[in-house]
Chains A and B, each alone.
Chain A
Amino acid sequence: MKRSWGALVQWTAALVLTAGMLGLLYTQSRPPAHDLHTTSMRYLQETERENALLIQEALRLRIELSEAYGRIDNVRKRLIDTNEQLYPAMQASIGQVNESLASALEALTGEIELQHQHVEDFKKANSRMMTAIFERTEEYEAQRIVLVDEHLHAITQSKVSSRLNAVQAIYDRAFIVEVDATGLYRIVLYGWSIVFLVALIITLYRFRQLSFYQEQLVVQRTAELDDALSSLWGEMEIATRIQTALVPSKPLLHGCDVAASMFPAEIVGGDYYDFVNVGDVDWVLIGDVSGHGVPAGLIMMMCQTAVQTELQAHPNQEPNVLLGRINHTLVENMRRLGEQKYMTLTAMRRDADGTFHFAGLHQDLFIRRATTGKVERIPSSGTWVGLMHDIESSLPVGQFTLHSGDVLCLYTDGITEAKQGSTLLENDGLVQLIEQSTGKTAEDILESILEPMECYEVDDDISVVVIRQI
C-alpha cells in the first residue's frame, strides 16, 4: 500500500513537471500579443517611411524631368532662332552666288562670242587674203603673158642681139613678177615636185628591179616544181607498179580455172584481191578501201601484207579469225596515220574437198550454177574492217561448194556502180551480165563481163575475179 502511494506521488510529480515544461515551451515559442502589435506597428512605420522616401524621389525626378523639358525647349527655341537668323543669310548668300555665277557665265558667253567673232573675222580675212593672192597671181600671170607676147613680138621683129636682149628682159621681168607674186609658194611647189619626181623615179626603178627578181624567182620555182612533179609522177608510177605487182598475175586455186582483173580509177586505187596458196589450202580475198588515191592504196598494201604474213603462219584458221587479226592491224595503222577509212573485205578458204568457208562484209557472192545457168546470190554479212577492234564475233562464217562448171564471180562496187546516163548497172545488171557471159574458160567469162563496160561511165576502181570449178 505504501508502495502504491509512493508510485502515485511519483507519477503525479512527473505529470506536474511535464505540464510545467510544456507550458514553458509554449510561452517561449509564441510571442505575446503585445509583441505582435509592436512588430506590426514598426513594420507599418517603416513602410510609410519608405513610401515617403519614394514619393520624395518621384517628386525629385519629376522636377528634374521638368527641368530637362525646359532645357530641351530652350535648345529648340535657340535652334529656331538660329534657323530664322541663318535662313535669310543663306538665301542672301545663294542669291549672291547665283548672281556671281550668272554674271560669270554671261561674261564667259560674251568671251566665247567674241572668240567666235574673232575666228569669223580671221576666216574672212583669210578668205580675203586668199582671194587677193589668187587675184594678184592671175594679174601677174596676165601681165607676164602680155609681156611675153610683147617681147616675143619684139623678138620676131628685131635681130638676134635684140632678141637675146628681149629674151633676157622677158626672163628678168617674168622672174621678178613670179618672185613678187607667189615666189615662195611656187618655189616650195617646184621643190616638192622635184622631190616627188625623184622619189617616183627611184620607186619605179625599185619596182623594175623587184619585178625582174620576181620573174627570175618564178622561173626558178617553176623549174623546181617541174622537177618535183616529175619526181612525184615517178613515185606515183612506182606506187601503181607496187599495187599492180601485189595483185597476183597468175592466180591459182586448186581444181579451178581462175581469171582476175583490176582497173584502178586513179593512178593508185583502193581495190584489193589476192590468192594465197599454202599446201592444200587455198585462200581467196577481195575487198575495197573507202576513198581513192594514195591513202587508199597504202591501206590496201597494208592489208595485203598482213594477209600474206598471217596466212603463211596459220593457213588453216577460220576466215573470221583471220579477218579479226587483219582488222586489228588496220585499226592500229589507221589510228597512227590519222586516216578515217575502212575496208570491205571478204576472206574465203577453200579446203581440199572443194568446200569454201567465207566471212566478211564486202559484196554479195554470185555463183552461176552450171545446171541452171542462173546466178545464185549468197549475201555478204558481218561488218567492215578498220573501224573498231574485236569484230570476230560480228563476222558469221558461211560456206558453199562449187560443182563442176559452176562459176563464182567476185567483184568490187566499181562495176555495179558503173553508169549509163543516170542508170547504175547495180547487182541485177551484173547478174544479167554473168548469166549472159559466154565462153568456157574463166578468162573468156571475165572478158565477156568486162566488155560491155566500155559503154558505161566508170568513176571507181573495178576489180573482177572469176573462179570456174573444173
Chain B
Amino acid sequence: MSSYEAEGLRITAEPDQNGLKICFLGRSDQRQPAIIMNPWFEDLLPMLSNQHVHVDFCPFEYMNSSSFMPIFQFLQAAANSATDLLVTFDNSKDWQRLSFSSLTALASGWKNFTIEAR
C-alpha cells in the first residue's frame, strides 16, 4: 500500500479485489497543488500498468480550481497505462458534480475509461 499526505490532502493506493484502488481524501486548496501532486502521480503511474484501476473521489472533501489540471492529467495518463480505469465521484457534492461533469465530456474519447456518479 502507498500513501501520500501533505497539507490536508491524502492519496492512498492499495490493492482491492479487482486490481488497484486509489482514493483521494481531505482537501486540496493549495495555491499550486501541482507541486505536491505531480511527484506523487509520477510515483503512482508505474503501479497502474496492466491493472484494473479504480480512482475514488467520493471521500474527497474539496479541491480548488487549480487542483483540477494535475488530476485531469494524471487520469489521462492512468487511462493510457491501466487495463481499464474507473472513476467514481459523489454526485451529492456540488463541486464534484460540476468538476466531474466536465471530466465526463473531456474524457469522452479516452479508451478503457468509465466514470460513475455515486
Contact between B69 and A290, CB atoms less than 8 A apart? yes
Contact between A383 and B94, CB atoms less than 8 A apart? no
Closest to A381 in B: B101
Closest to A426 in B: B94
Closest to B69 in A: A340
Is A282 on the interface with B (CB-CB < 8 A)? no
Query: Which positions in A face B, CB cutoff 8 Å?
Result: 288, 290-292, 340-342, 344, 361, 363-364, 379-384, 387-388, 391, 394, 413, 416-417, 424, 426-427, 459-460
Contact between A388 and B106, CB atoms less than 8 A apart? yes
What is the bound-complex CA distance between A410 and B96, given in angstroms? 19
Nearest CB of A to B32, in Å: 9
What is the bound-complex CA distance between A108 and B44, given in angstroms? 67
Given A383-B101, A426-B94, A459-B29, verify A413-B106 contact (CB < 8 Å): no
The number of chain B residues touching the other chain, given as a range, is 10 to 19
Query: Which positions in B face A, CB cutoff 8 Å?
Result: 29, 31, 62, 64-66, 68-69, 72, 94-95, 97-98, 101-102, 104-106, 108
Contact between A291 and B62, CB atoms less than 8 A apart? no
Of the A-B pairs whose beta carbons lie under 8 Å apart in the complex, a sample of 17, sorted by A's number, is: A291-B65, A291-B66, A292-B31, A342-B65, A380-B98, A382-B101, A382-B105, A383-B102, A383-B105, A384-B102, A387-B72, A387-B106, A391-B105, A394-B108, A417-B62, A427-B94, A460-B64
B94 cross-chain contacts in A, Cβ below 8 A: 364, 416, 426-427
Given A364-B94, A427-B94, verify A288-B101 contact (CB < 8 Å): no
Contact between A424 and B108, CB atoms less than 8 A apart? no
Grouping DSSP codes into helix (H, G, I), strand (E, B) and loop, the B interface class, with mixed when no group exceeds half, is helix
Contact between A383 and B106, CB atoms less than 8 A apart? yes
Contact between A424 and B62, CB atoms less than 8 A apart? yes
Closest to A290 in B: B65
Nearest CB of B to A301, in Å: 18
B31 cross-chain contacts in A, Cβ below 8 A: 292
B29 cross-chain contacts in A, Cβ below 8 A: 459
Contact between A361 and B98, CB atoms less than 8 A apart? yes
What is the bound-complex CA distance between A387 and B95, given in angstroms? 18
Given A391-B105, A394-B105, A459-B29, verify A342-B98 contact (CB < 8 Å): no
Nearest CB of A to B65, in Å: 4
Q: Which 5 A-B pairs have the closest CB atoms?
A: A383-B105, A290-B65, A394-B105, A383-B102, A384-B102
Given A416-B94, A459-B29, verify A290-B101 contact (CB < 8 Å): no
B102 cross-chain contacts in A, Cβ below 8 A: 361, 382-384, 387
What is the bound-complex CA distance between A310 and B97, given in angstroms? 30
Contact between B68 and A342, CB atoms less than 8 A apart? yes
B97 cross-chain contacts in A, Cβ below 8 A: 379
Contact between A341 and B101, CB atoms less than 8 A apart? no
Q: Count chain B CB atoms within 10 A of each CB in A340, A363, A427 and give the residue with the most.
A: A340
A380 cross-chain contacts in B, Cβ below 8 A: 98, 101
B65 cross-chain contacts in A, Cβ below 8 A: 288, 290-291, 342, 344, 413
A460 cross-chain contacts in B, Cβ below 8 A: 64
Closest to B109 in A: A388
A427 cross-chain contacts in B, Cβ below 8 A: 94
Contact between B69 and A341, CB atoms less than 8 A apart? yes
A424 cross-chain contacts in B, Cβ below 8 A: 62
Closest to A364 in B: B94
What is the bound-complex CA distance between A368 and B98, given in angstroms? 21
Nearest CB of A to B37, in Å: 13
Contact between A290 and B105, CB atoms less than 8 A apart? no
Contact between A363 and B98, CB atoms less than 8 A apart? yes
A426 cross-chain contacts in B, Cβ below 8 A: 94
Closest to B73 in A: A340
B72 cross-chain contacts in A, Cβ below 8 A: 387
What is the bound-complex CA distance between A114 and B69, given in angstroms? 81
Nearest CB of B to A468, in Å: 24
B64 cross-chain contacts in A, Cβ below 8 A: 417, 460
Nearest CB of B to A406, in Å: 22
Nearest CB of B to A140, in Å: 72
Contact between B101 and A342, CB atoms less than 8 A apart? no
